[in-house]
Structures are given as structure tokens and as C-alpha cells.
Chains A and B, each alone.
Chain A
Amino acid sequence: MRVLMFGWEFPPHITGGLGTACYGMTKGLAKNGVDVLFVVPKAFGDEDQTNVRLLNASDVTVDIDHETERSYWDRVQYMEIGSNIIPYVGPEQYATMIEEQRHATQGFRSSVFAPRYEFSGKYGANLMEEVARYALIGSSLATKYDFDVIHAHDWLTYSAGIAAKETTGKPLVVHMHATEFDRSGENINTDVYAIERRGMEAADLVITVSDWTRNIVIEKYGINPDKVITVHNAVEPSDKSLDEYESSGLKNKVVTFLGRITYQKGPEYFVEAAYKILQVDPSIHFVMAGTGDLLQKMIKRVSQLKIGANFHFTGFLKGNDVDQMFAMTDVFVMPSISEPFGIVPLEAMRLKVPVVISKQSGVSEVVEHALKVDFWDINGLADAIYGLCKYKAVNDIFRKEGKEEVDNLKWEYAAKKIKNVYELAINKK
């Protein structure tokens, strides 16, 4: 079986969990005998391609006069909206935005239709232009390769998926890693919502990463429950052990938050819980790793609470630094307000770090050896963190059992379920 897969990012060039999930999934699919043609907007050349063939959309030239592409363009017209939709803008991206803006004003239509197009592959100011171009390439690529099923990850790639389906008639599976409601709360971007909804409606089957997300998809997007299937994410077992990393230089317990510092991740609740804990035990240290639009607000709040000597910020971490951070961590906390899945706690657990997660996360559906609290319950959060820091017995159990549990959440198994979904979609046709 062969699948044409559309993604937006692939390790090591990632900004969040999507790229990591795609990587694990493709490895798992390979183990299940599924070939993957993976399309990314921009390939850098240093990606691990042992289990996947990476197609770089930036390398694909488009002949505008080609009839199929022309007819496709009539259908993607609706995406021509000038607004800047910026889901996750980090400082680094913000710096390049002005440059991108200049590029964007050169004319949306003409640059989308240029024979060659250089994707940034990020989430910048001309994201919509990239999405449109990516869709165009979707239809172009679909005619060049042979495959059985199309699989598109998150809204950025749905238009490409739809285009490929319409060009080839092959079944389409769309994968909801996050919904617009997770990213923006109730103040959603209606254009993104429309693309998500259209993608799911056009798809033969929809995969959600958790039941939490499945409910949102059914309730808020009105998708037929019969075609929505949950396949929980997994995590690649780590061949690393903590011994390879430096342990914390602090003699005290370290509690870590790691993720984008945005509304969705609930960083405020972590800061407030830290303050409560420090009133009882001023020796514990807290780390907020990551960056995002709420970073400055968090720094201000920390200094206002006068806990700066015990509360540290590391900025964005990736690759080895993430594991290094876990190696220095005694308790990992993910207080997300709405988390479709949340792969980071699993990465912590496989390095034997006990975790506290919010009940409003997909990952809480699959792990048992984690303390689960409502994100808004600061007292509960503080309690759970304090307990894991202070009471050795529960900490030991979580370290041991948690690791074992996660090691069984293999992508190989999740990919098997995905393969079943593919088969279902193919037979449905």
C-alpha cells in the first residue's frame, strides 16, 4: 500500500508537535508495510528519509496553462483572502515577517502561479499564499505519482489533499491534530474553520488524535460521527537514557513546563501554581521552556510575584536540549486548556519523568500513570506537583510504571490503526 501524505513540517525543522507526530507515524507505517510519499512545503535536506520519501514542494514547477491545474484553481479561489492568519508566531518568525510582508504584497495571484515558488514552510505572514500554492502543487504531484490513498495533516494541507483527490479520484483521509478551537479558544478564525470543515467534509474518513478532539469535530464542525475515527498518537521509544545528560545543577526539585507559551497551553496556571507551592516550599525551582505570545506576560507576572529567583525561562528548546531539560526535571507539567493530544508528556515519561497533565488533553485518555487535574484548578495543580516533588513513593512508581506504559504506546501500533483506516477508506470507494 502506498500513501501520498501532505504535511507542513518534518523533523528536525519543526515548531511544534505536528512534525514530530508525522515523523513517528511514517516510521510506524513503514513497519506495517505502507510506503509513504511525504510532501512538505520546504525540505531542508537533512531530514531522516529512511522510512519515507520526502517530496519538496519548493522543487515542483507548475505549468499554469495545464488544464487540470487551471480547473483546480477555480476551486481553490476561495482561499484568496488577504488577511494575515498567523497561528503560531514566535519571535524568530516575527522578525522575518516584514520581509515576508513585502513579498506578499507583490501580488498573491501572480506569485502563487509562478512556475517556481520558494516555500518558507513556516507559519508566517503570507501563510495563506503558501497554503494556496501548496494546494496547487498537491494536484500537480498527484498526477505524477502512483498511490492508493491520500492523507493530509491539519488544515494547512487540506486544500492540497482535496485537490489531489479531485485530480485522481483516490480516497482522502484528513487528520485533525488540532482544531481552530484549540488554537484560539472561542474567538476562532472563521477562514481557518471553513478550511478545516471543508477538508473534513470532502474527506472519506477523518482521523482525530483523541476523543477530546473527536467530540469537538462532531459538535462544533457537524461532521458525521460515523466517519470520524480516533487514533491516539504515540511516541518513539527513546534509545537514550538519562545518564547521557547532565543532571540538574540545582540541589532542589525542578518542575518544568515545556511548550509554546500561548493561550492554549495554559502557562498562567503553571505560574500561579508555582507561586502557591513556593509559599509552602521556597526551595523548589520552576522552569518555563518555550516561547510564544504570552512569554512577556509570564515574565511580568513572575517578577510581580517576586519569584524570579525560583522561576526560570529557557526560550525555545529543540532536539537534544529538550531531553537535556527532561533530564534535569523532577516533575513535568502540562496544564493545557485544550490539548488535542499533547505528545510532550509522553516524551517526558519515556525519560522517567513523572507528569501532571490537564484533563482537557487527549493524552490523558491514554496514560494511566500521570496525575490529571482540571487546567483551571490551580490548587489541584499545585497539590499534584507538590505531591510528586515531596513524596518519594508515588514519584518512584510514576517513574517506573510511566516509562513502561509509554514504551508500549508505540507508533507501530498506532500506525496499524491508521492502516486500517486507509483500508476502510479504500473499500468505501
Chain B
Amino acid sequence: MRNLCFYFQVHQPYRLRTYRFFDIGKRHFYYDDYKNRITMQRVAERCYIPMNNLMLKKIAELGNKMRFAISFSGAAIEQMEVYSPYALESFKKLVATGNVEVLAETYSHSVASLMNKDAFKLEVAEHKKLMKEIFNVRPKTFHNTELIYSNEIGADVAEMGFDLMLTEGAKHVLGWKSPNYLYVNAINPKLKVMLRNWKMSDEIALKFAHETFKVEDFVNWLNSIPKEEEIVNIFIDYETFGEGLDASTGIFEFMNYLPDAVLKYTDFKLVTPHQMVEKLQPTGVFDAPIPLSCRDEERDLSNWMGNDMQDDALATLYGCFKKVKASKDEELMRDWRALQAAENFAAMCTKHQGGTPYDYYINYMNILTDFINRMK
């Protein structure tokens, strides 16, 4: 039997409010509460709750043959606690079945791994603590924000005690090699690396609504994979189901039928990532000296860093890490986490059409100035 691994990301960043120069030093609340609440409630209603119910139903039907993984950002959990406790309860139920592996990640969905090793470690430790608290689990598999990975980051992750990490099967790194194997980190071979099959993941996440893509197509595609290839990893944002792709597209029906079809018509079974560590032999080294991600055609970091605004904002933010940490002030820490969310820097990206990167930068820097001011 070969292996098919589904992993879903659950994340909602804190959206920042319009924070003017006049607010600096006076008002220390940075969030758009209204937007955060309606977004979380909408996503819970359209995605989290119906999708969780579907997954619970599949687990009830298929038992241990139904397995997958989920990763929760701290920001998503916090906002669920406040705005949609029901959705959180439903996730807890799902995790309690034992058929779902909860992954480790950064608490804030941050790019700390690229900026500051200590900040990165703290992010991971805080997330770990939260997973224990909420789900009573100890994640063993690490996946970084937007699958950001490099040899160094992998080595840092191994140092934190993980033996498996998930990342993007980026073409420019893999070359002729297939993502459908288990690899190891180039610096520390104790860390196994599992790669996202981006082609098939995107097929579901991006193309489903626009093109005719049926369960049969998926099954045929699985069957066309060379027999020696051992594992196929499909990583998708959980919000794709019901939010990104509206229920009317038939995505829930697709996901309802998919596990049965895979089990019945292919030689694949559904697994969780960490089951593979013992089971599969790594076939080679995944060598990524330059950091990669799962974003954009280039699969690089340009979504979050590289332009002057992003670099200034990131350098300023991480420049105050030591002070924040030394402060041991829980309120500061809370804001520090929210300000780290990768979305803040993606909103300053100038590569894409639309958006207001300049306004975002100004607003963010005003907040950051106030934040830094509070530590003085």
C-alpha cells in the first residue's frame, strides 16, 4: 500500500485597525475588532464547522482508514476562543478522535525563522504550549509558515527536537527528482523532510471551482503515479473548503466521496505525516541552501521580504525582540505575536496588482513606533 497524506492549515491573522500618527503614545489597541470578529464568524460558519462535521462523519464511517493532519496557528485559536468557541469545540472533537495529527508551527504564523533564531524558538515553544493546553497533544511534526524552508531552518527545527518537517516540493530545488518520496535535511540528516505535491494540491485548492475536476480525475491521477513512488502529500488551507471554494461548487461532496474512492480504486491509504517517519526510508537529501516557500510562481520569499518597506518593517520589528522578551510583559508579548504575522509583510508586497502596500506600511510603522515606545 502506498501513502496519501492530507494536511490542512487553519489560520486567521489579527487584522490591524487604521492607526494614525495621532494615536502614537496614546492608544495601544491595534486591532480591527469588528473585522476580526466577522471574519472569524463567517469562516467558522462556512468552513470550520461544516468541514469538521464532514471529517467527523468520514472518521465515523471509515475508522482508522481516515487519517489526516491539521496545523493551527495561535492567532486562529485565540480568535476562535473569543469569537467562535463552537468552532473550537468542534476542532477539539476532531482531534480527540485520534485520527488527526496536530502539527507544530509558529504561534503567530510568522517569518521568525528567517529573522531571528531565538524569536523563532520562542514562537515554536509558545505554539507547543498552546497545543498541549487546547488539544492535549504534543506535536512531533513541524511545518513552517507558508512552508518556508532552508537547510539552516531545517537544522534549527531538528535542534528543537523535531524529526520531521514539511515543506514545498519546489521545482527549482528538486530538479528532476520527485516530491513523492521521503527526504532528509542537508545539514542534519536526522530531520526527515516531506514535500508538498504542489501540482495536485493546487489542482484542488485553485482550480476546482473553475475547471471540471472530479474525484475520478484525482483517482486516475493517483493511479498514474509510478508504482515505486511512495507518498503523495496534499497540503491545503482549511479555509479553502467552504470559504475559498463556496459550498455551491460541490467541494464538500468532493471531499466526502474522495476518501472512499481512494481506498476503493487505488493502492493508496490515508496517513498522517508522522506515521511515515518509521515506515519509509529516505531516498536522498533535499538540499535548499536558499530559503523557499510555497508562495507564487517563484516559490521564494518575495511575498514577505525584499522590498524596502518589508525589510524596514521586519528589521524594526525583530530589532526589538530582546527588549520584548526581557520585558516579560504579557500584553507586550501578545501584541508582539500579532505584529509578527506574515500577512503584515505580505500586505507591503508591491509585486502584485491591487492592494495598498504604501498605506499598509505607514500604518504598520505607526503601530510599531507606539509598540517600541511602550518598552521605554
Contacts and interface: CB of A to CB of B under 8 A. Distances in A.
A249 B312 contact: no
A299 B369 contact: no
B25 A308 contact: no
The secondary-structure label for the interface of chain B is helix
A309 B365 contact: yes
Contacts of A302: 312
B183 interface: no
A324 B309 CA distance: 28
The secondary-structure label for the interface of chain A is mixed
Nearest to B365: A308
B156 to A, nearest CB: 26
Contacts of A385: none
A306 B26 CA distance: 24
B312 A303 contact: yes
Given A250-B373, A310-B369, A312-B369, A300 B25 contact: no
Contacts of A285: 369
A303 B309 contact: yes
Interface string B300-331: 00000001110111011000000000000000
Given A249-B370, A309-B369, A299 B309 contact: yes
A96 interface: no
A171 to B, nearest CB: 48
B309 A287 contact: no
A245 to B, nearest CB: 10
Contacts, number: 76
Nearest to A309: B316
A306 B372 contact: no
Interface in B362-376: 362, 365-366, 368-370, 372-373, 376
Contact of B24 (A249, A296, A307, A321): A249
B32 interface: no
Given A251-B373, A299-B361, A314 B312 contact: no
A246 B22 contact: yes
A306 B312 contact: yes
A308 B312 contact: yes
A296 B309 CA distance: 11
B23 interface: yes
Interface in A293-319: 295-296, 299-300, 302-304, 306-314
Nearest to A304: B308
B309 A300 contact: yes
A302 B311 CA distance: 12
A328 interface: yes
A57 to B, nearest CB: 35
Given A250-B373, A251-B373, A303-B308, A308 B313 contact: yes
B2 interface: no
Which 7 residue pairs of A and B lie closest in terms of their CB atoms, listed nearest first? A249-B25, A303-B308, A303-B309, A249-B26, A304-B308, A308-B312, A303-B312
Interface of B: 20-26, 307-309, 311-313, 315-316, 358, 361-362, 365-366, 368-370, 372-373, 376
